[in-house]
Amino acid sequence: MSFEIRHRDMLGRIGRILTKSGKIDTPIFLPVINPAIQLILPKTLSEEFGCRALITNAYILRNQQEDGAKKKGVHQLLDFDGVVMTDSGAYQILTYGEVDVDPAEIIQFQELISTDIATILDIPTSYNARKDDAKRTVDETINRAEQLSKMKTRSDILWVGPIQGGHYLDLVAYSSKKISELPFQIHALGSPTQIMEQYLFDILVDMTLTAKINTPSHTPFHLFGAGHPFMFALAVALGCDLFDSAAYAIYAREDRYMTPFGTNRLRELEYFPCSCPICRKYDPTDLRSMPFQDKQRLLAKHNLHTCFEEVRRVKQRIVEGRLWEYLEARAHVHPSLLKAVKKLKKYENYIERHSTVSKRKGLFFFSSLGLARPEIVHYRKMLRERYSSPVEAKILLLLPQPNRKPFHLDKVIRKLLNLIADSNEKNQLIQVCVYAAPFGVVPLELDEVYPLSQHEIATPLDLETKEYVAEQVRNFIKSSSFNKVFLVEDTKVWKGIVTSVCRNIKRKSLSITFLRVEEKSSEEVVNYIARTLEAAIQDCHKDPVNAVDDITLR
Ligand SMILES: [Zn+2]
């Protein structure tokens, strides 16, 4: 099994999986081909869409075209020379309760038809299942997974190990650990279909990340039944390398037209907001007046174009290191997606550990939603774990963020430093830090480290972002060893929040002066700070006392 990863962003990765029918580049969307109703022929997928891989159902093939499939093999039967993945009836179990095939037979059948990526006959956990029933599906799936190595005879097929447990996360974790002990080349989250249909994307985040956390990260991960392209960015950001969907065809049957922003009924459309070959050639009136079969096929083609296009967009975002920004944009397509993106905060440490945090481009920070992004989590961790203030520094001066980046080049900061520092020794006694959204405290000597100067923020900041920054300031002061702290707050921007969060810091030998100003760059303020610091330097060798001073300059 070879899975080569070229780029990462969040848990998304651009990679390449080698199969016996060639390589596939991930993340990849696999259209579902129903062997009984081929709305779009596999050959068309390959020729018109450049599609290199599809998924079909081994259970349906075995029921309806068993002899042909065994004789020709699945590639020739479908007339498709790309990579074929097969599912094995789990969806039918979920829908009809049971299937008339035994697990050993479906393993053997997939080998006989020479599929490239095969799936054991797992037992999906229904969303409504009681916990004991859910546990039964997990145990039976693990049991069947354990049988695979005794039954399979070929070594050139990649086998998928489905993870069950539904929304019972302890069961998902247990299932993931058990499945990852077995020799599967791909792991998959089974049975999220009902969750997807009900737009419970926040539960999908929990299920997927619980599975990811409990399986080795270098194994490709599949999401069964991914659905609508508006959630592809989320699926990829959660670390799904492969995902399949039949939605393009199901939607087409119901006159539904997919866009990356949601779905339109064909009857609602006056214009096609798309430039695929179908939408260039026809307008909505043309399609509406067509016979059902033709209309359905053209809608399915448009829907497929939308799906493939979205995957390419997501991949490009990974290359640019802009997956977070893209995910935020997609989050605003539907409240259920925003809810899911908000859920990522719960997993921010795991995502940060697996994400690239140094990028070619700067970050865009729009709102507090972005506080969970890996780069911000990473900086917070690094500052706490790896940074210590210069030993000779006795006084901490905390200034609100200037407009200019890097901060040390700001005119007011330079002027202030010049006023205080008529000798090196004095300069070294003072540590100057800026507190800035979205990162928190930035020591001036670090301000050129990526991405502390390489980002753009949308102002005015929202309350949650201000509170986050204030909390970072508080933690920084609390864990430092400075005797004297001067905290300057620009009240126009910070509205007293930083002062109020830091007021109750309990620490031995800390004298803290809160200086609230309305105009941080005024001559009077700069001179006042310089004079106060001068005085502080004079007596910084005296025994420290606990004190709080409140000064407001207007
Ligand atoms: Zn189109």
Asked if the structure places residue 385 within a domain, the reply is no
Asked if the structure places residue 71 within a domain, the reply is yes
CA distances from 321 to 8, 79, 260, 314, 372 (A): 8, 38, 20, 10, 15
CA of 296 to the centre of ligand 1 (A): 13
Query: The CATH number of the domain where 47 resides is what?
Result: 3.20.20.105
Please report, as a single letter, which amino acid is at residue 43. K
How is residue 196 written in tokens?
Answer: 């997807």
Active site residue 244: no
Asked if the structure places residue 368 within a domain, the reply is no
Q: Are residues 237 and 325 in the same domain?
A: yes
pLDDT value of position 423: 55
Asked if the structure places residue 19 within a domain, the reply is yes
Asked if the structure places residue 28 within a domain, the reply is yes
CA of 300 to the centre of ligand 1 (A): 10
Q: Are residues 317 and 450 in the same domain?
A: no
85 and 52 in contact (C-beta within 8 Å)? Answer: no
Q: Are residues 331 and 414 in the same domain?
A: no
For the chain, the C-alpha Rg in angstroms (whole number) is 29
Q: Are residues 349 and 430 in the same domain?
A: no
Last residue of a domain, one of 308, 339, 354: 354
Asked if the structure places residue 459 within a domain, the reply is yes
Q: Are residues 244 and 320 in the same domain?
A: yes
Q: Are residues 82 and 179 in the same domain?
A: yes
Asked if the structure places residue 363 within a domain, the reply is no
CA of 305 to the centre of ligand 1 (A): 6
CA of 280 to the centre of ligand 1 (A): 7
pLDDT along the chain (554 residues), means of 10: 92 97 97 90 96 95 93 96 92 76 93 97 92 96 95 96 96 98 96 87 97 97 93 98 95 96 95 97 97 97 98 97 96 97 98 90 95 97 94 91 92 85 69 96 94 95 97 95 92 94 87 87 83 81 73 74
Q: Are residues 345 and 409 in the same domain?
A: no
CA of 28 to the centre of ligand 1 (A): 20
172 and 198 in contact (C-beta within 8 Å)? Answer: no
Q: Are residues 180 and 259 in the same domain?
A: yes
Q: Are residues 260 and 326 in the same domain?
A: yes
**Which position among 9, 79, 81, 87 bears the catalytic label?**
87
256 and 229 in contact (C-beta within 8 Å)? Answer: no
Phi and psi, residue 366, nearest 5°: -100, -45
Query: The CATH number of the domain where 397 resides is what?
Result: 3.40.50.10630
Q: Are residues 508 and 442 in the same domain?
A: yes
CA of 275 to the centre of ligand 1 (A): 5
Last residue of a domain, one of 354, 372, 403: 354
Q: Are residues 325 and 414 in the same domain?
A: no
Strands 3-9 and 256-259: unpaired
Residue 374 C-beta-side C-alpha neighbours within 13 Å:
23
Asked if the structure places residue 375 within a domain, the reply is no
CA of 306 to the centre of ligand 1 (A): 7
Q: Are residues 53 and 189 in the same domain?
A: yes
Last residue of a domain, one of 330, 354, 378: 354
Domains contained in the chain, number: 2
Tell me which residue range forms the domain holding 432: 392-553
173 and 213 in contact (C-beta within 8 Å)? Answer: yes
pLDDT value of position 301: 98
CA of 276 to the centre of ligand 1 (A): 4
